[in-house]
Structure 1
Amino acid sequence: MSASDGLRIRLHATDALRRRGLAAMLQAAGHTVTEDTPDVELCDVGRGARETEAPVVVLTDSEVVSGSPAGVLAADASADQLDLALRAVAAGLQVRSPATAVERGFAPVAEDAPLLTPREREILALVGQGLSNKSVARHLGISVHTVKFHLEALFAKLDATSRAEAVAKGLRGGVIEL
């Protein structure tokens, strides 16, 4: 599916005016509002969706959302945010707006957090679990030298002088979770 392809969206909104507004936003983004088998379900203000295989995006200002929706956005999300969230969950990703992410237990990534490669994140998480360089190397199927190389890069990016400090900074910045 290309970025310009629209999705089939089943829309749940009890307020008729709100439903028309959301439907107009969806159609303007190239999506189709349907009652048939959808690609994504969109539920306004935390209303429950029918039993479905499709991922669910919930629009809400509440801290309490039933179930485990693939997406949670603020009720006043912009048309662009809504479009991107729908496309992301249709692609198998999870989406949380910054306001709802903290409320739902997702750690925010600090704006000034260093950009680590996926391998660096993986190594930092393993170090955080207490693994030695040799154990990390065995676990990942790489050499100890490569682990040391990644750790040096991590120390520089995180401005850390020890493994413990690197892990602590990674946890505080939301770069890794243990």
Structure 2
Amino acid sequence: MLPLRVRIELRPPVLAAGVAAMLADESALRVVDDAADVLILDAAGLSEWLAVPVAEAEAGLVVLDDGAPWISELLERALGWSWLKWDAARGELLAAVQAAGAGLVSLPAAQARAVWQGAEEPELPLPGESVALTPREQEVLALLGLGLSNKRIARNLGVSDHTVKFHVTALYSKLNVSSRTAAVTRALQLGLLSV
């Protein structure tokens, strides 16, 4: 298996050098200056990345910052992403890069609790319960499971972005979730998707 190509875009350069040193001895990763599978950004770099058209944003992301204000945008746009504090240990950084490269979303437990603090636990269908999906909803769900954006799903299915949004909203309602990640997770739990 080829090593994940990782590009580090942190300011100031001394921080970039420190992160590069943390990744230097890992054979499953290769730090590059050009096309990458995973980008490591700070909040300023993420703000610039969010301005890039979705079609050009093909890499996973690892964001190093003390806050997590852009989670909804990342859920919608990024293939896989991780959010870590600046003082993350080497093992956390390696796990975050691997997760983002695999198209997964990861947060340290304390940050995940902070993100969901105060959120009510929705009533979810139990495993084994049937959720009736239309054939088109099943297609959209399968493409969501691949981490595709609404625009890419629309292109693959030959429909408009608006139609995809309609189907995604219907999926959220039927699965009783409010995000793409939750929809895919719930679909896996219910056996509507397989890994």
CA deviation after TM superposition for structure 1 residue 35, in Å: 2.2
Q: Find the aligned partners of 2:114 and 2:86 in 1 and give their Cα distance.
A: 15
- Out of 38, 62, 68, the residue aligned to residue 57 of structure 1 is 62
Unaligned ranges ≥5, structure 2 = 133-184, 187-195
Deviation at 1:6, TM superposition (A): 3.0
For residues 55 and 102 of structure 1, the distance between their equivalents in structure 2, rounded to whole angstroms, comes to 23
What secondary structure, in the 3-state scheme, does the structure 2 residue paired with 1:104 have? Answer: helix
User: How far apart are 1:137 and its partner, in Å?
Assistant: 6.0
**Structure-2 change in CA distance of 1:15 and 1:138 (3 Å):** closer
1:105 to partner: Cα distance:
3.2
| Residue type at the aligned position of 1:35 | D
1:73 partnered with 2:70: no
Partner of 1:23: 20
Taking a change above 3 Å as real, the CA distance of residues 71 and 80 of structure 1, as seen in their structure-2 partners, is same
Q: Is the counterpart of residue 125 in structure 1 residue 127 in structure 2?
A: no
* CA RMSD across the alignment: 3.4
Instruction: Call closer, same or farther: CA 1:46–1:6 in 2, change over 3 Å.
Output: farther
Query: Counterparts of 1:9-48 in structure 2 under 5 Å?
Result: 9-30=6-27, 31-45=29-43, 47-48=45-46
How far, CA to CA, are the matches of 1:138 and 1:98 in structure 2?
30
SS of 2:24 mapped into structure 1: helix
1:42 is displaced (CA, Å) by: 0.8
Partner amino acid, structure 1, of 2:24: Q
Larger Rg computed on CA atoms: 1
Check the 8 A contact 2:22/2:90 in 1, yes or no.
Answer: yes
Under a length normalisation based on structure 2, what TM-score does the superposition of the two structures give? Answer: 0.50
Taking structure 1 as the reference length, the TM-score comes to 0.54
Task: Kindly tell me the number of residue pairs found equivalent between the two proteins.
Answer: 118
Distance 2:108 2:24 in 1: 22
Unaligned runs of 5+ in 1: 109-123, 140-175
Contact 2:68 2:83 in 1 (8 A): no
Q: Is the 8 A contact 2:4 2:38 kept in 1?
A: yes
CA distance 1:25–1:105, shift in 2 (3 Å): same
Amino acid corresponding to residue 45 of structure 2 in structure 1: R
Query: How far did residue 65 of structure 1 move?
Result: 3.3
Structure 1 or 2: more helix by fraction: 2
- 1:83-107 CA distance string (max 9 Å, x none): 1111112112111112321333389
